[in-house]
Chains A and B, each alone.
Chain A
Amino acid sequence: ATPTFAHTPVEQDVTGTVRDAQGTPLPGVTVQVKGSNKGTQTDANGVFKITANPGDVLVFSSIGFVGTEVPVGNSTTVNITLQGNVKGLNELVVTALGVKKTPKSLTYSTQRIGSEELTTAKDPNLMNSLNGKVAGVNINRSSSGAGGSVKVVLRGNKSAQGSNQPLYVIDGIPMTNYTVQQPNSTWGGDGTISYAPGRDGGDGISNLNPDDIESISVLKGASASALYGSQAANGVILITTKKGKNGATKIDLSSGFQLDRVAIKPEFQNKYGQDPNAATQSWGPAINGAQDNVKDFYRTGYTWINSVGLSGGNEKMQTYFSYANTRANGVIPENDLSRHNITFRETGKFLDNKLTLDGSANVIIQKINNAPVTGLYFNPLTGLYLFPRGLNMQPYKDNYTKLDDVRQIYLQNWPFNEDVQQNPYWIVNRNGSVTERNRTLFSASAKYDFTDWLSLQARGNMDRTNDTYDASIYAGTNGVLSGPNGRYITSNLTTTQFYGDVILNLNRSFGDIKLNALLGSSITDTKTKGLRADSYNGSLYVANFFTLQNMTPGSQISTEPSRHQQLQAVFGNASISFKDLVFLDLTGRNDWSSNLSFTPNGSYFYPSAGLSFILHDMIPMPQAVTYAKLRGSYSVVGNSVPIYVTHPVNKLGVSGGTFDFNTIQPFTDLKPEKTKSLEVGTEWRFLKDALSFDFTYYKTNTTNQYFQIAVPPGTGYSFRYVNAGNVQNTGVEVLLGYNLVNSKFFKWNTTINYSKNKNTVKELAPSIDQFILTDPGSNAYTSLIKVGGSYGDIYGRVLQRDEQGRIMIGADGLPMVAADQKFIGNPNPKWQAGWNNSFNIKDFSVSFLVDGKFGGQVLSMTQAMLDQYGVSKASGDARDAGGVVINGVDADKKPVSTIDAKTWYTTVGGRAGVSEQYVYSATVVRLREASIGYSLPASMLKSSFVKNLKLSLIGRNLAYFHKKAPYDPEVTMSTGNGLSGVDVFSLPAVRSFGLNLNVTF
């Protein structure tokens, strides 16, 4: 102990760490000795050092926190916790590579979502919980229920053939987020075989346990993600996971049970029955009411997520462990999911706190039975919906099989032989599939602080995922989809990613100038080994026996995919600030990609620069303004190119041992795509930070896109590649937050996010004015990119009209259809907005989220087919009304005001009909989430070992305030680039409500 004398104060060094309520160190906090001019700021680790006398009072202040005064006393250490007065205002922002920065210094827009927002109303795929909460992010869920993937597009689609999804980064390390499989046509299809189930193989992000996540930061613009180079042209979603904390041991238990019910069902007619001349159709005579076969099919699904998290530790070592169990039963019979997530994380400090080690292991085991498919094939919903009205499906439910006397085998019991429909109960029981995923993630990082301004960090990670898929398709399945002995499809795919980086960090002040710099290098190595087999083009020797050795010759068996890709990079970043008023941020990154080998363009440099000004400290402002910042940045980043395109080879055909001669011209001067991005924005806070406002404008131009374009086959090639095009996205994002009431007993916080994106295809390749994303095949839906249009424009068949716009009726009495497919809509919303409200009334908390996507059009092929078959309510109403009212003209130029319902709907309806008639506004406004929670008051828990207990009633997708389409336009058939804005018998959206219990011990 230091001897002290009351009458002779001794100046001494006082040090300490300033943290927020969550225990996170706070940098940039001003520390002053009250009544003097002595002052300093906390460093990046929240640590400060100041000389003071015992008895002095230290004043801590920082934007967004309640100013706090602490007497020094005799101690030389002052550790304090600052209480935030506005949520999220001064939390450190995690930026690229896991670097934490103060919000002041950011030259671009980010948005952070905390753990509570992700776990209040949990979704098995955590990205769905972000929907409506982040400006500039468009999230579409796949139609394959629990375990399905999600399509996330930040600030508009950019790339024609590359990915448009963001990079996911966990604790600074890029994560693999490939999707094994997506449907590739309105039939379904799996990319290589047309007559295969249209399945969603799930993505990487959907596997994570939401309870393990501390926060998610969305780096929307390319500037924010420039440090990730070519992987991050579409923005980055940074995920920070929980780790153990210094202090008492804590156990969190969480149990959430939700019921899921189909929210939207097609409307059927109940007055006309089966057509005696065409048994599959319902254009027959009048009937007295019809059985609701659809209602009998769907069941109430549930999602039950239980998790336990343990954390604890001391100053030196912290431990975090969690286990989560997810069980979900789909609304379609026989569909269920089970998932186990196990996480273990250990952090520790060694060598006099100079060395920090952090290691974690994640194990994910997931199994999905009978994941719902989409498209016309293998889909129970086609047969279910098209089933003739007035007939009872019960006999086909009770006996979906029947004995074939000759073969002595139970085959499908279904009265129709049509490729597009089967007995739905046969499909769910006899066209089943099992999808399994086993994933392990190991990460380790070591950081050594040489001095308080220089540190070196090294990280490594291995992410290994094994995906298997087995479809057992029984004999008796429709002959277009299976051989007479059934069909077996199996695939086994292992993807392993190794990532490593080394980063040197430097933080120094030179008078008023502060430098925060890093220099690093990284390597990402990804290997995929696969095996695929499908008996489709061959057969099975023994019926209903699903093994490889039962496949006959002619079956497709391949050791594909087989891929090895490597990306190496060197990067650097310098953030320079002057008096904490002006911040300059410069980054540069050079990539070397193995996918670019065989070209002279193996290496690429991507720069970015940004500036921000803290206005309120520079210019006198009215009292109401507590924070004002102006920022701008510009960057150039790339998007990687696929493997092998620079070097196509001859292969063996999929069956029979023939050589498959390659007719794709090698792309020997391929360059990576380039996205130039400009972003300016401003942030303001008023009324003691109660009101906050954030505005961003951006403009991105994506050029050098690589296109695979058809060349005339007479040239000797079928396709060639070009680097060309210019796809532009411009838009604005607005965030508005207001703490309307902030009293002790009642709190009301409201936030609004708004974003608008305009996508323009300015040019494609020379002499090419369109690029097809989804080929129509024989159906009336095409998705393409066309010069002058915007990404994902939908083309379809349209009626022929005369100069007065009247529908032309041919001599045969049928409406005339134009020969070529025409533009009929674009599925992307013009703007979207979310309105989030949370209320705290004593121990109750209430929150709800309303969000809307406005503009855009979608196509319902489902409705077109229901009309064609005469089962839809529209087709019945038209018959009741004596026909369809049209503004038409016949071959003799005489006006036609009504047309026979059957003539009309069998011409315009159907998968290849006049799709123009089935385009609907995609605008949808919904109550996305709502919850009412009750926490046991702290006073009651004082002496209990339970520290916190909260029970909430939650709901998701509770109500549609506005919706014109006959399905939920947010559900997408594929999370790839194509099949956007079309519904082909997709699993309907569900409405969920349930109960959450959170207990902390």
Chain B
Amino acid sequence: CTKNFEDYNTDPTGLTEDQLKPDFNFIGGFYPQIQSSIYYNYNNTTWEYQLQQNLIADVYSGYMMSANPFRGNISNLTYSLVNDWNGFPFSLAYNRVMAPILEVKRRGAQSVAPDFWGVALILKVEAMHRVTDIYGPIPYSQYGQGGTTSAYDSQESIYKRFFLELDTAVTNLKAYIASKPGATPFAKFDMIYGGDYKQWIKFANSLRLRLALRIVKADPATAKAQAEKALADNGGLLETNNDNVMVSGFGIRHPLYTITNKDGWSDISMNASMESYLGGFHDPRIGKYFDPASDYPGQYKGIRLGGSITAKPGYSGFSTLAYKETKSIKDNSPLQLMTAAEVYFLRAEAALRSWANPGGTAQELYERGITTSLSQWGVADQASEYMNDAVSKPAAYVDPKNAANNAPSPSSITIKWDDGATFDTKLERIITQKWIAIFPEGQEAWSEFRRTGYPKLFPVVNNLSNGTISTTIQIRRINFPQAEYVANQAEVQKAIQLLGGPDNGGTRLWWDKL
């Protein structure tokens, strides 16, 4: 008698359709996982974030550096790219973001709940632009077709698709607001805006502006058109710190707290470039971002990327992230994806490029970017002094433990806006301040560094890339995951064609033009 066999072979800890029916869980229930998986700390595993972002973008952006001699200093941190690490941004995005979004689609979100679908598209673009900005071509338009292979798209076509998806998202959300003003059906599942669709539209527009500027070198016409569309949209952009895209709730913890905490992993510290800029600029945010070095009381001390790290405690007495003194990185700090300050800097660049409707001059927007950031970190009172500093420059770097790591100041850029400066200097100023403002979101900082070359970061000390990555030009991408070579060989080969260069860290992405 085998009539109960299907019952036995059904995991009782699984969710059944009957259990999903109430409270709109059958669609909405999948969103918390999606939102927890972009800046990854789903289930608070933390080490996955470490491999998704911390030991890639967070260090390549010049924000952070590890005091841990990972793999005997033969690792990403010395440009010896670790295949065992570098598949994580890829697999996490597909398995934890794209897969549940596909499930939401299968469950009919497009017709049953177009507003939910709009939110899904915004999250999808937010998650996946990070992935294409790491690898270049990735599977996108043909995602989720099952089978055993998956085709890649060129980065150009992916970006085009991003803009179309943001169009749909904004249209769907506006239609919902028009038909049911004030309704917040998504509130229960929303880890960012408490179900307020107006805020989601602002996020979508701001994201469009970010993506438009990203492709300004590769496709200037689309860049301008999309940026102007974002600037002109009546839904608006992120303007105040209340609009910031911060993920919290559903038990999520800040991965950087665990990683930097000396009682935790003490695996991540301040990067020498941050010390140079924040220290040189006497930036009031320095204490908000970092704790003073325990080995050098009262001082902030960063570590050079790619330096010869000695075994702990070695460099662990240098500055960690601010978990101890000002406690801006706490266990339960929300995860920052995008801020109003960033949007002002994007608008400043749009103004610099003389695009329509930036909403102010480049200087005005640049200064609003700075003040918005300073107020985000609770040091707004020092804004005018800071903004009017025309003297302070990034400092030279001295490593008290190893003089081989010493380096002269990377740049002579100052803070105060100078309308008479060249385009390049103005751009450096905007991007340098944007870089400071959007900390600790290393992914965006690294992408913008690659697009613009700013801020000027200290190069890697020991370059163990076997000549594939230039020390001066610095790392441009991460190679495709090793697992793809095993399971998706033919498509990866086509992806390399789309990439237009060898699959290593030295090849520039489509939007990354000289």
B partners with A? yes
| B102: Cβ under 8 A from any A Cβ | yes
B312 with A280: CB separation less than 8 A: yes
B12 with A660: CB separation less than 8 A: no
A562–B9 Cα gap in the complex (Å)?
10
| B328: Cβ under 8 A from any A Cβ | no
B148 with A554: CB separation less than 8 A: no
Residues of chain A in range 477-518 having any CB-CB distance to chain B below 8 Å: 479-480, 484
With A658-B33, A910-B72: A709-B262 Cβ-Cβ less than 8 Å? no
B253 with A554: CB separation less than 8 A: yes
Pick from B15, B100, B261: contact of A652, CB below 8 A: B15
A658 with B36: CB separation less than 8 A: yes
Pick from B29, B151, B464, B491: contact of A659, CB below 8 A: B29
With A281-B311, A602-B2, A712-B484: A417-B47 Cβ-Cβ less than 8 Å? no
| B385: Cβ under 8 A from any A Cβ | no
B365: shortest Cβ distance to chain A, in Å? 38
Pick from B9, B95, B262, B486: contact of A644, CB below 8 A: B9
A interface footprint on B68-109 (CB within 8 Å = 1, 0 otherwise): 001110100000001111000011011110111011000000
Q: In the complex, what residues of B have CB within 8 A of residue A653's CB? A: 33, 42-43
B151 with A714: CB separation less than 8 A: yes
A479 with B84: CB separation less than 8 A: no
| A746: Cβ under 8 A from any B Cβ | no
A interface footprint on B95-134 (CB within 8 Å = 1, 0 otherwise): 1101110110000000000000000000000000000000
| B313: Cβ under 8 A from any A Cβ | yes
| B226: Cβ under 8 A from any A Cβ | no
A419 with B265: CB separation less than 8 A: yes
A280–B309 Cα gap in the complex (Å)?
14
| B251: Cβ under 8 A from any A Cβ | yes
| B181: Cβ under 8 A from any A Cβ | no
Residues of chain A in range 555-578 having any CB-CB distance to chain B below 8 Å: 558-560, 562, 564-566, 568
A537–B49 Cα gap in the complex (Å)?
14
| A47: Cβ under 8 A from any B Cβ | no
B2: shortest Cβ distance to chain A, in Å? 5
Q: Report the nearest A residue to B308, measured CB to CB.
A: A812
A716–B146 Cα gap in the complex (Å)?
6
A566 with B488: CB separation less than 8 A: no
Choose the segment among B137-145, B205-213, B435-443, B452-460 that binds chain A (4+ C-beta atoms closer than 8 Å): B137-145
A820–B33 Cα gap in the complex (Å)?
34
Residues of chain A in range 405-420 having any CB-CB distance to chain B below 8 Å: 416-419
With A417-B262, A602-B2: A643-B9 Cβ-Cβ less than 8 Å? yes
Q: In the complex, what residues of B have CB within 8 A of residue A37's CB? A: none
| A278: Cβ under 8 A from any B Cβ | yes
Pick from B36, B150, B253, B483: contact of A715, CB below 8 A: B150
A657 with B5: CB separation less than 8 A: no
A480–B264 Cα gap in the complex (Å)?
5
Pick from A484, A594, A776: contact of B9, CB below 8 A: A594
A602 with B5: CB separation less than 8 A: yes
A554–B45 Cα gap in the complex (Å)?
11
A656 with B251: CB separation less than 8 A: yes
With A553-B251, A716-B146: A655-B8 Cβ-Cβ less than 8 Å? no
B102 with A597: CB separation less than 8 A: no
| B422: Cβ under 8 A from any A Cβ | no
A194–B250 Cα gap in the complex (Å)?
22
A475: shortest Cβ distance to chain B, in Å? 10
B502: shortest Cβ distance to chain A, in Å? 14
| B297: Cβ under 8 A from any A Cβ | no
A595 with B9: CB separation less than 8 A: yes
Total contacting residues, chain B, CB less than 8 A: 83
| B263: Cβ under 8 A from any A Cβ | yes
| A663: Cβ under 8 A from any B Cβ | yes
With A568-B2, A647-B10: A661-B30 Cβ-Cβ less than 8 Å? yes
| B433: Cβ under 8 A from any A Cβ | no
| B384: Cβ under 8 A from any A Cβ | no
Total contacting residues, chain A, CB less than 8 A: 78
Q: In the complex, what residues of A have CB within 8 A of residue B100's CB? A: 659, 661
B72 with A658: CB separation less than 8 A: no
A647–B5 Cα gap in the complex (Å)?
12
B265 with A480: CB separation less than 8 A: yes
| B220: Cβ under 8 A from any A Cβ | no
A interface footprint on B398-419 (CB within 8 Å = 1, 0 otherwise): 0000000000000000000000
| A100: Cβ under 8 A from any B Cβ | no
A713–B84 Cα gap in the complex (Å)?
16
A654–B253 Cα gap in the complex (Å)?
13
B15 with A650: CB separation less than 8 A: yes
Residues of chain A in range 751-808 having any CB-CB distance to chain B below 8 Å: 767-768, 776-778
A777 with B84: CB separation less than 8 A: yes
Q: Report the nearest A residue to B10, measured CB to CB.
A: A647
A520–B14 Cα gap in the complex (Å)?
36
A649 with B2: CB separation less than 8 A: no
Q: Report the nearest B residue to A767, measured CB to CB.
A: B148
Q: In the complex, what residues of A have CB within 8 A of residue B94's CB? A: 713-714, 716, 718
Q: In the complex, what residues of B have CB within 8 A of residue A812's CB? A: 462, 464
With A418-B312, A644-B11, A661-B33: A714-B143 Cβ-Cβ less than 8 Å? yes
A875–B128 Cα gap in the complex (Å)?
48
Q: In the complex, what residues of A have CB within 8 A of residue B144's CB? A: 714-716
A194 with B6: CB separation less than 8 A: no
Q: Report the nearest A residue to B90, measured CB to CB.
A: A713
B71 with A778: CB separation less than 8 A: yes
A644–B72 Cα gap in the complex (Å)?
41
Q: Report the nearest B residue to A539, measured CB to CB.
A: B331
Q: Report the nearest A residue to B492, measured CB to CB.
A: A712
Pick from B82, B99, B491: contact of A712, CB below 8 A: B491
A659 with B44: CB separation less than 8 A: no
Pick from B6, B45, B138, B331: contact of A597, CB below 8 A: B6
A709–B10 Cα gap in the complex (Å)?
22
B44 with A554: CB separation less than 8 A: yes
A564 with B8: CB separation less than 8 A: yes
Q: In the complex, what residues of B have CB within 8 A of residue A237's CB? A: none
With A643-B9, A649-B14, A910-B72: A659-B32 Cβ-Cβ less than 8 Å? yes
Q: In the complex, what residues of A have CB within 8 A of residue B252's CB? A: 656
A416–B262 Cα gap in the complex (Å)?
12
A280–B484 Cα gap in the complex (Å)?
39
| B1: Cβ under 8 A from any A Cβ | yes
| A579: Cβ under 8 A from any B Cβ | no
A interface footprint on B229-261 (CB within 8 Å = 1, 0 otherwise): 000000000000000000001111100000001
B220: shortest Cβ distance to chain A, in Å? 30
B487 with A716: CB separation less than 8 A: no
A90: shortest Cβ distance to chain B, in Å? 43
B91 with A718: CB separation less than 8 A: yes
| B53: Cβ under 8 A from any A Cβ | no
B264 with A651: CB separation less than 8 A: no
Q: Report the nearest A residue to B80, measured CB to CB.
A: A819
Residues of chain A in range 628-684 having any CB-CB distance to chain B below 8 Å: 643-644, 646-661, 663, 665
| B13: Cβ under 8 A from any A Cβ | yes
Q: In the complex, what residues of B have CB within 8 A of residue A417's CB? A: 262, 266, 312-313, 316
A98: shortest Cβ distance to chain B, in Å? 25
A479 with B262: CB separation less than 8 A: yes
Q: In the complex, what residues of A have CB within 8 A of residue B13's CB? A: 558-560, 562, 651-652
A281–B72 Cα gap in the complex (Å)?
13
A-B pairs with lowest CB-CB distance, top 4: A656-B251, A649-B14, A714-B150, A714-B139
- Interchain Cβ contacts under 8 Å between A and B, 30 examples: A194-B45, A194-B47, A278-B311, A278-B314, A419-B265, A480-B264, A564-B8, A565-B9, A594-B4, A597-B8, A597-B9, A643-B9, A647-B6, A651-B14, A656-B251, A658-B42, A661-B96, A710-B483, A710-B486, A712-B150, A712-B487, A713-B94, A714-B150, A714-B491, A715-B144, A715-B146, A716-B94, A716-B145, A720-B148, A778-B85
Given A652-B15, A714-B142, A778-B70, 18 additional A-B pairs, CB 8 A: A280-B313, A479-B262, A538-B251, A566-B5, A597-B5, A644-B10, A646-B9, A648-B11, A655-B44, A656-B43, A661-B96, A663-B99, A665-B146, A710-B483, A711-B148, A713-B98, A716-B102, A778-B71
